[in-house]
Amino acid sequence: MKDVPTKVNHSPFRGYSGYISSLKRLSVESHRVAGWDTRVDAALNGQASVELRRVAPLETRRKFGAFFTGTDLGSQLIDCDSRFGPNSIFYDPSCGMGDLLIAVARRLRLGKSLADTLRLWGRQLTGTDLHREFIQGARTRLVLLARQRHRTDEALRLSDSDLFPGIRVSDGLKEEALFSCATHLLLNPPFGKVAAPAGCSWASGRMTEAAAFVITALERAKPGTRMLAILPEVLRSGSFSEHWRRRISQLADVEIVQPYGMFDDSADVDVFLLRLTRRVEAECPPLYLWTNSAAPRTSTVGDFFTVHVGRVVPHRDEETGPLRRYIHPRNIPMWKEVTRFTEKRRHEGLAYQPPFVVLRRTSRPSHPYRAAATVILGTKPVAVENHLIVCEPRNKSADTCRVLMEKLHTKRVNEFLNQRIRCRHLTVGAVADIPFSIL
């Protein structure tokens, strides 16, 4: 007799099943056992993310957008909205291990018994994810939270199928019934790069998946639905995201845009928190200042300088045309004046006539001074790599360039940029908006 082949689990996170099993054992263990509270605290506060990093390589987590929210970030997001109660219904279409649902559940009322609480929460908390392990984990962690809050060893009389029936394996953006029932949407969508959807009116080429995810969720939500979202900083302050922000404003009233900082120590991306309310689509939406530019102010860098990105794209542009002095971030010092040039290259495109100031585009909030500048002097045109931003003084004055470099080397400018843009690259718009005066 032939052996019956065993069905193979092809889940990319199959190595996570052991951790889910340990959570299930913890959920039925007596709360009087030594260390039970400590282990539950760990299970609800970051352990799920640590365990995922242990069993799944970074490449896999990036491919599937598997980065869990964490307690502090989830709590700050829920703090953005106090308008919910026993009739509110929350839907997280990419819930992962349920961090955002847990952040909500910490504020939901308890029933008379553990079973009563789980029924109440089961009506209010809904979520979907493509990975069965995460759905099992989200349900189990919510049971752990309920048991911890009740301080009870009451046996669970609900079957697995009765526990949180609205939290299930599915493509969340296709769950029309869940969108129609939700009063609140909770989003920590994937941040990877995808192609813009066919027929998309607000984007083309490649973009962050989070952009399309939020728009699709808003289009499916009914008017009056409130959204709380954790999104990559590039959507708040990136120049190429302007059309996305305009589309958001057509669909919803933007109420809170709050820079946060680094998502966590394993994801090299800054994020912001967004709260908005879906309304009937408007052709001429009200203007919302997403970047909180400093105001009032008398003048900016853009009033005194024309601002560009350098024109030389290394390894792509052919070295043809006039032989030019050539600068890039590695061959010029910061906070100095440069009159001698160590490199030349042929370049047919635009070259810049000194005097001017260049800033390094790579700029993170952790940098001591984000607008790291150099004054370029001389008499002949200079070819500039595209990893530098060029500020040409409108009055053609070297002294104006020196004043700009001095003022960029200040805490005030750092504070402005940390509010204006937290992407890893400065943009022309952000530099032009820096408060500046030559007086």
pLDDT by residue (tens digit) across 50-66?
999 999 998 999 888 88
pLDDT at 160: 65
With tokens 């069905």, the residue in question is: 7
pLDDT in tens, the chain (439 residues): 344 444 445 789 999 999 999 999 999 999 899 999 999 999 999 999 999 999 999 899 988 888 898 888 999 999 988 788 899 999 999 999 999 999 999 999 999 999 999 999 999 999 999 999 999 999 999 999 999 999 888 877 666 667 899 999 999 999 999 999 999 999 999 988 888 888 888 888 888 899 999 999 999 999 999 999 999 988 988 777 888 998 999 999 999 998 888 887 777 788 999 999 999 887 666 666 777 554 445 799 999 999 999 999 998 999 999 999 999 999 999 999 999 999 999 999 999 999 999 999 988 777 889 999 999 999 999 999 999 999 999 999 999 999 999 999 999 999 899 888 877 788 898 899 999 987 6
pLDDT at 148: 95
CB atoms within 10 A of CB 106: 13
Asked if 68 and 48 touch (Cβ cutoff 8 Å), the reply is yes
pLDDT at 424: 78
pLDDT at 439: 66
DSSP category for residue 166: T
pLDDT at 429: 86
The strand pair at 305-309 and 90-92 is best described as unpaired
The letter for the amino acid at 74 is: G
pLDDT at 364: 78
- DSSP character string of 225-237: -EEEEEEEHHHHH
Enumerate the H helices of 231-345 as residue ranges: 233-237, 242-251, 301-304
* pLDDT tens-digit readout, 205-245: 888 899 999 999 999 999 999 999 999 988 988 777 888 99
pLDDT at 95: 96
Could you give the CA distance from residue 261 to residue 423 in angstroms, rounded to a whole number?
10
pLDDT at 6: 44
What are the structural domains of the chain? 14-54+68-278 (3.40.50.150), 301-432 (3.90.220.20)
Asked if 264 and 67 touch (Cβ cutoff 8 Å), the reply is yes
Could you give the CA distance from residue 70 to residue 80 in angstroms, rounded to a whole number?
16
The strand pair at 323-327 and 344-346 is best described as antiparallel
pLDDT at 2: 40
Q: Is 386 exposed, middle or buried (0-12, 13-18, 19+ CB in 10 A)?
A: middle
User: In sequence order, what are the beta bridge partners of 293?
Assistant: none
Residues counted in the chain: 439
pLDDT at 136: 95
Predicted TM-score (pTM) of the model is 0.75
